[in-house]
């Protein structure tokens, strides 16, 4: 599901009363009533149980579990605490510094959706909300976000709330529905832009921060790691996001975080938070972000040309390829995409790719299956030279080709 929130009427009343906050899962929406109260009761109950376990009498306590009461022993214990705390505080300082640096670049976005009619024939105003982050390109400023945050909303129906409290509107609205990339051109004095990092350099286990406005709570920061890379084939509600290559993170992402930045510990944007996997509608430790390198391939084209040109390789793929066929061909692992057709005059033919080849790497990235190849090539900028590795007759062969505009081949 996409982590946006839908609010009827005043957003603060809706959150406080728990009656109008709506979450969605696979296109089904329902109100999250009294969720704060239930969470509070669970927390208090769990705390009471924990305390009762701590104070319950024990038949025989080990010496290390006995209360420290002497003045000297407590002084030594506090000294140990201070030594250990210094290490943690030094690490925490990095996180706090990143939050201070990136925070002023993060915005809250509200978009008016077309009025909807209720069962009693009354209409109500529905509002989408999400997050975004400011970047600078060629001396101009833009907000990077998700298309689904403002989809089908004209520029005059979009409100951008800056970190310093100002509210502005976009000068231009740019989007690409096949990748869920959204870009809003803005113009205002004293704007602060975030630096764009390199998502290709991120590895599983790297620390990240997610910033945004979950449930409309601006200036929120959560912390986690990169849990996985290259996630694709996700069912994203009723949206048709064709090209997917997500980073997975356990940094808490909730409704309203859509479009906000995922940052590394250098304070650089390495992803745009886009979706969550959830049965409850809230964070369950599985969030997905569009890697910033792929995002910027699309965003640069939208900014510079107003449209996106897709790359074309020129192969058709064998959907039957799997572990049995891979073993028959002598592949050590059932990865890659088997070619069963090559388009005449396409880059694949020029590079020497043949029917029966198994494409195992493109531009240094291991190809998992045919869907992964389609997604990966779709995020490459047309005109760029890329390396390709194919498995043929028991050998790995390295090739190089230049991908072209798919529209030239009627795609």
Domain range for 210 is: 201-290
Q: How far apart are CA 13 and CA 18, in angstroms?
A: 8
Q: What does the pLDDT read at residue 55?
A: 42
**Residues with active-site annotation:** 148, 180, 258
- pLDDT in the model for residue 28: 30
pLDDT of residue 218: 77
pLDDT at position 229:
87
Given this model, what pLDDT does residue 60 score?
Answer: 52
CB atoms within 10 A of CB 79: 10
- Residue 383: the pLDDT is 87
Q: Are 275 and 234 in contact (CB under 8 A)?
A: yes
| Cα 97–Cα 207–Cα 290 angle in degrees, nearest 5 | 105
Give the Cα separation of 275 and 287 in Å (integer).
Answer: 6
Tell me, yes or no, whether 356 and 401 share the same domain: yes
Q: Is the dihedral angle over the CA atoms 41, 46, 51, 56 positive or is it negative?
A: positive
The CATH number linked to 377 is 2.30.42.10
343 and 285 co-located in one domain: no
Specify the pTM.
0.71
DSSP per residue, 312-377: E--EEE-TT-SHHHHHHHT-SSS-SEEEEEE-TTSHHHHHT--TT-EEEEETTEEP-SHHHHHHHH
Q: b or e along 354-369 (b: 16 or more beta carbons within 10 Å of the residue's beta carbon)?
A: eeebbbbbbeebebbb
Contact between 244 and 234 under an 8 Å Cβ cutoff? The reply is yes
Residue 328 counted as domain residue: yes
Q: How far is CA 234 from CA 2, 250, 375, in A?
A: 11, 17, 12
Residue 260 lies in a domain: yes
Q: How many domains does the chain have?
A: 2
Contact (Cβ atoms closer than 8 angstroms) between residue 102 and residue 209: yes
| 21 falls within a domain | no
**Helical (H) or strand (E) element with 52:** helix 35-55
> Are the C-beta atoms of 273 and 225 separated by less than 8 Å?
no
Asked if 131 and 211 count as a contact pair (C-beta separation under 8 A), the reply is: yes
Flag residues of the chain having pLDDT under 70. 1-65, 114-127, 233, 235-240, 278-284, 410-411
Are 215 and 272 found together in one domain?
yes
């Amino acid at each position: 599901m996409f982590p946006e929130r839908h609010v009827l009427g005043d957003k603060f009343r809706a959150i406080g009363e728990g009656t109008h906050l709506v979450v969605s899962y696979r296109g089904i929406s329902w109100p999250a009533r009294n969720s704060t109260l239930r969470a509070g009761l669970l927390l208090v109950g769990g705390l009471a149980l924990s305390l009762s376990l701590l104070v319950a009498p024990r038949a025989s306590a080990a010496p290390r579990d006995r209360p420290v009461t002497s003045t000297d022993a407590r002084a030594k214990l506090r000294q140990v605490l201070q030594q250990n705390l210094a290490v943690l505080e030094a690490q925490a300082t990095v996180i706090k510094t990143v939050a201070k640096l990136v925070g002023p670049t993060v915005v809250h976005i509200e978009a008016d959706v077309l009025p909807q009619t209720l069962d009693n024939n009354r209409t109500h105003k529905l509002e989408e909300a999400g997050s975004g982050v400011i970047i600078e390109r060629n001396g101009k400023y833009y907000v990077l976000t998700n298309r689904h945050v403002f989809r089908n909303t004209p520029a005059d129906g979009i409100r951008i709330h800056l970190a310093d409290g100002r509210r502005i509107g976009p000068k231009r609205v740019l989007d690409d529905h096949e990748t869920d990339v959204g870009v809003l051109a803005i113009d205002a004095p004293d704007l602060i832009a975030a630096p764009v990092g390199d998502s290709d350099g991120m590895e599983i286990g790297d620390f990240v921060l997610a910033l945004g406005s979950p449930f409309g709570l601006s200036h929120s920061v959560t912390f986690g790691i990169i849990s996985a890379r290259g996630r694709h084939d996700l069912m994203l509600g009723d949206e048709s996001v064709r090209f997917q290559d997500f980073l997975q993170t356990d940094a808490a992402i909730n409704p309203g975080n859509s479009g906000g930045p995922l940052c590394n510990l250098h304070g650089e944007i390495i992803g745009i938070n886009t979706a969550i996997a959830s049965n409850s509608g809230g964070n369950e430790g599985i969030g997905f972000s569009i890697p910033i390198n792929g995002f910027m391939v699309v965003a640069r084209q939208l900014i510079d040309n107003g449209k996106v040109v897709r790359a074309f390789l020129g192969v058709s793929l064998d959907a039957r390829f799997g572990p049995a066929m891979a073993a028959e061909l002598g592949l050590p692992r059932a990865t890659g995409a088997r070619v069963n057709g090559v388009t005449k005059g396409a880059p694949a033919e020029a590079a020497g790719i043949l029917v029966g080849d198994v494409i195992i790497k493109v531009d240094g990235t291991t190809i998992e299956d045919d869907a992964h190849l389609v997604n990966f090539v779709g995020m490459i900028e047309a005109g760029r030279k890329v390396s390709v590795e194919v498995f043929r007759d028991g050998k790995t062969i390295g090739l190089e080709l230049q991908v072209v505009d798919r529209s030239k081949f009627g795609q």
